[in-house]
């Protein structure tokens, strides 16, 4: 029977070295007795070059990178426990995920943890156990212990409460007393070094104390076990805790599940809990009995007037803006309930050319302007090729709200139905009456339908001049999004050229009038 005594500081690192050397020496798990205690100096004398375990300055960062991997044995090979009969074929080889989990499990309070972990690494390395196989007793233990340690570390990050101490230099100084369930301070402390980089702090636990001074993190055995002196800010914190609590939703069990009572004694706010719970019912009753404010009394009405004055928006300027405001309030069909906003037409009154698309898409709905999304890019390219100035034309849609079905984080475009097109024709007609264009270009079947009552046979109608009931000339072309739906590049280029050609024709017609 061989005794292995691990140091209190740097326990995991020391175990790692020992386990590697013992495995190489072929020592069986049942021949070992592991313990943590006063480090016997002779036992670790030879390991000094390996980060100085037990020297109060444990290697914190990079504890788990490939330490069991073959070829990394040099540093730990000189341990006193290793016998000279080392055999390279006994070198430990473990999956990376296993190493991280086992190192976490080694911070568990289970006194058998070192023996279990040693048995496990031998079995894994020899292929007698598979990592992740929960039917293996030791694998399951490691996973569960690591989980428990992870939870405890998380609770440490949550429930450590610092108190301010008099500063000894330019950096402010803080200290905390914390009692974790497992000896996991070395695992938990680096988080605080990252978070509180500009202050000095000490976290003392019953086992170890972490000290962070001038950016250096170190560990030592805990000497003093008294909590640090009170801090006046705790009163403010208690005020906050008591005020943020809603007595109408008392759920003590849920609180205790997440903030177990074992942590309460070191939480300054916990002393309030019994009083808050006891008084909750009376507070709710008082709220219920309070008479509702007479609504709306004179004071309330005056306040409402005041708010209306402050929030009043300037009236729209010009007929296009006025119409746009009216479109914005439209609820003629159900589409407005789901869309962000109506997208009114834009352009000057008297524009010779009016261009009508189908409906706003995702991007247009967000921006509140027509043709600004991917189809808008095709549209702008075509305008440029046709020599049409966008600001000189009136650009609008047959339907003013975006119709879609929600699919997770995306909106899938839906074609507006005949009823929606008909309901929205009201606005399109008003826009036509206002702008009085010489030529209207309908892009896509929906626009053609809204303008002529017929949306079919686009390929035959394209490029031919039609006449609307009021005598306005009408041209029909593809919708720019049709280009985006085509699979082949050639077809895309052809369709885009056709749109540009139709735009150019529309421009010519509008200039002739």
Query: Taking CB under 8 A as the criterion, which residues in 348-377 touch other proteins?
Result: 363, 365-368
* Binding track over 47-86 against other proteins, x by CB under 8 A: ----------------------------------------
> Which residue lies nearer to other proteins by CB, 249 or 487?
249
Residue 334 binding other proteins, by CB under 8 A? no
> Which residue lies nearer to other proteins by CB, 218 or 472?
218
Looking at 15, 114, 131, 174, which residue binds other proteins (CB under 8 A)?
Answer: 174
Residue 93 binding other proteins, by CB under 8 A? no
First-to-last alpha carbon distance for the chain, in angstroms, is 108
Query: Whole-number minimum distance, CB 60 to other proteins, in Å?
Result: 11
Looking at 85, 168, 315, 337, which residue binds other proteins (CB under 8 A)?
Answer: 337
Q: Could you give the angle at the alpha carbon of 362 between the alpha carbons of 357 and 368, nearest 5°?
A: 70
Stretch touching other proteins by CB under 8 A, among 93-101, 195-203, 317-325, 476-484? 195-203
Query: Whole-number minimum distance, CB 200 to other proteins, in Å?
Result: 10
Residue 304 binding other proteins, by CB under 8 A? yes
Residue 341, classified by CB atoms within 10 Å of its CB into exposed (0-12), middle (13-18) or buried (19+), is middle
> Which residue lies nearer to other proteins by CB, 117 or 175?
175
Radius of gyration of the chain (CA): 38
Looking at 30, 31, 41, 290, which residue binds other proteins (CB under 8 A)?
Answer: 290
Q: Which residue has the tokens 């609008």?
A: 396
Given a contact cutoff of 8 angstroms between Cβ atoms, the answer to whether 385 and 499 are in contact is no
Residue 195 binding other proteins, by CB under 8 A? yes
Given a contact cutoff of 8 angstroms between Cβ atoms, the answer to whether 425 and 450 are in contact is yes
Stretch touching other proteins by CB under 8 A, among 83-91, 155-163, 218-226, 384-392? 155-163
- The whole-angstrom separation of Cα 75 and Cα 67 is 10
What DSSP assignment string belongs to 399-419? Answer: SSS--EEEETTEEEE----HH
Stretch touching other proteins by CB under 8 A, among 18-26, 243-251, 380-388, 496-504? 243-251
Stretch touching other proteins by CB under 8 A, among 81-89, 304-312, 414-422, 483-491? 304-312
Query: Whole-number minimum distance, CB 49 to other proteins, in Å?
Result: 26
Sheet holding 200-204, edge to edge: 163-165, 173-177, 200-204, 208-213, 216-221
Residue 162 binding other proteins, by CB under 8 A? yes
Stretch touching other proteins by CB under 8 A, among 89-97, 290-298, 385-393, 455-463? 290-298
Query: Whole-number minimum distance, CB 129 to other proteins, in Å?
Result: 14
- The whole-angstrom separation of Cα 179 and Cα 483 is 66
Given a contact cutoff of 8 angstroms between Cβ atoms, the answer to whether 380 and 501 are in contact is no
β-partners of residue 353 are 439
Task: Provide the strand spans (E) within 168-247.
Answer: 173-177, 200-204, 208-213, 216-221
Which residues in 250-289 contact other proteins (CB under 8 A)?
250-255, 258-259, 267, 269, 273, 276-277, 280, 284, 287-288
Which residues in 109-138 contact other proteins (CB under 8 A)?
134-135
Residue 312 binding other proteins, by CB under 8 A? no
Structure tokens at 484: 């985006």
Residue 305, classified by CB atoms within 10 Å of its CB into exposed (0-12), middle (13-18) or buried (19+), is exposed
* Residue 57 three-state SS: coil
Which residues in 397-436 contact other proteins (CB under 8 A)?
404, 406-411
Stretch touching other proteins by CB under 8 A, among 5-13, 78-86, 229-237, 314-322? 229-237
Number of residues assigned to the chain = 513
> Which residue lies nearer to other proteins by CB, 248 or 418?
248
Looking at 299, 464, 485, 494, which residue binds other proteins (CB under 8 A)?
Answer: 299
Query: Whole-number minimum distance, CB 220 to other proteins, in Å?
Result: 21
Given a contact cutoff of 8 angstroms between Cβ atoms, the answer to whether 211 and 82 are in contact is no
> Which residue lies nearer to other proteins by CB, 327 or 451?
327
- The whole-angstrom separation of Cα 495 and Cα 444 is 12
Looking at 25, 69, 75, 199, which residue binds other proteins (CB under 8 A)?
Answer: 199
Q: How many residues bind other proteins, per CB under 8 A?
A: 92
Query: Whole-number minimum distance, CB 2 to other proteins, in Å?
Result: 34
Q: What is the 3-state secondary structure (H, E, C) of 360-395?
A: CCHHHHHHCCCCCCHHHHHHHHHHHHHCCCHHHCEE
* Main-chain phi, psi angles of 397, to 5 degrees: -125, 155
> Which residue lies nearer to other proteins by CB, 179 or 221?
179
> Which residue lies nearer to other proteins by CB, 249 or 460?
249
* Residue 60 three-state SS: coil
- Which of 63, 83, 86, 84 has its CA nearest to residue 14? 63
Which residues in 314-333 contact other proteins (CB under 8 A)?
328
Query: Whole-number minimum distance, CB 331 to other proteins, in Å?
Result: 9
β-partners of residue 221 are 208
Q: Where are the alpha helices (DSSP H) in 25-112?
A: 41-44, 96-105
Query: Whole-number minimum distance, CB 142 to other proteins, in Å?
Result: 14
Residue 341 binding other proteins, by CB under 8 A? yes
* Residue 338 three-state SS: coil
């Amino acid at each position: 029977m061989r005794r292995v005594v691990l140091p209190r500081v740097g326990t995991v690192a020391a175990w790692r070295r020992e386990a590697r050397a013992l495995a190489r020496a072929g020592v069986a798990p049942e021949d070992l007795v592991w313990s943590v205690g006063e480090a016997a100096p002779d036992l670790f004398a030879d390991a000094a070059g390996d980060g100085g375990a037990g020297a109060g300055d444990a290697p914190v960062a990079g504890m788990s990178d490939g330490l069991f991997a073959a070829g990394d044995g040099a540093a730990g090979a000189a341990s006193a426990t290793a016998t000279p009969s080392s055999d390279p074929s006994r070198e430990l080889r473990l999956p990376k995920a296993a190493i991280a989990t086992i190192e976490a499990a080694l911070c568990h309070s289970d006194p058998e943890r070192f023996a279990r972990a040693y048995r496990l690494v031998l079995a894994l390395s020899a292929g007698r156990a598979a990592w992740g196989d929960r039917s293996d007793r030791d694998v399951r233990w490691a996973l569960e212990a690591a989980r428990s340690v992870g939870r405890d570390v998380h609770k440490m990050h949550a429930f450590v409460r610092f108190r301010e101490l008099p500063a000894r230099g330019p950096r402010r100084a803080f200290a905390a007393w914390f009692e974790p369930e497992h000896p996991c301070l070395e695992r938990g402390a680096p988080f605080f070094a990252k978070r509180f980089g500009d202050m000095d702090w000490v976290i003392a636990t019953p086992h170890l104390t972490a000290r962070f001074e001038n950016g250096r993190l170190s560990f030592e055995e805990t000497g003093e076990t008294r909590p640090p002196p009170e801090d006046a800010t705790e009163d403010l914190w208690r005020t906050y805790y008591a005020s943020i609590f809603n007595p109408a939703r008392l759920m003590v069990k849920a609180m205790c599940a997440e903030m177990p009572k074992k942590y309460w004694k070191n939480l300054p706010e916990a002393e309030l809990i019994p009083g808050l719970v006891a008084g909750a019912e009376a507070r709710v009753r008082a709220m219920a009995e309070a008479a509702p404010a007479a609504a709306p009394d004179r004071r309330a009405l005056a306040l409402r007037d005041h708010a209306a004055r402050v929030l009043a928006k300037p009236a729209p300027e010009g007929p296009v803006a006025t119409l746009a405001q009216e479109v914005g309030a439209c609820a003629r069909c159900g589409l407005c309930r789901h869309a962000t906003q109506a997208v009114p037409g834009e352009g000057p009154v008297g524009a010779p050319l009016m261009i009508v698309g189908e409906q706003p898409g995702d991007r247009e709905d967000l921006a509140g302007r027509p043709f600004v999304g991917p189809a808008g890019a095709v549209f702008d390219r075509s305008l440029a090729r046709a020599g049409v100035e966008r600001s000189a034309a009136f650009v609008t849609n047959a339907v003013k709200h975006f119709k879609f079905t929600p699919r997770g984080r995306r909106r899938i475009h839906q074609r507006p139905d005949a009823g929606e097109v008909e309901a929205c024709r009201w606005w399109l007609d008003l826009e036509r009456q206002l702008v009085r264009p010489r030529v209207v270009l309908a892009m896509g079947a929906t626009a053609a339908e809204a303008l002529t009552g017929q949306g079919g046979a686009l390929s035959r109608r394209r490029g031919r001049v039609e006449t609307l009931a009021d005598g306005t000339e009408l041209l029909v072309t593809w919708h720019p999004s049709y280009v985006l739906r085509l699979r082949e590049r050639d077809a895309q280029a052809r369709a885009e050229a056709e749109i540009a050609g139709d735009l150019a024709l529309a421009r010519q017609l509008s200039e002739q009038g």
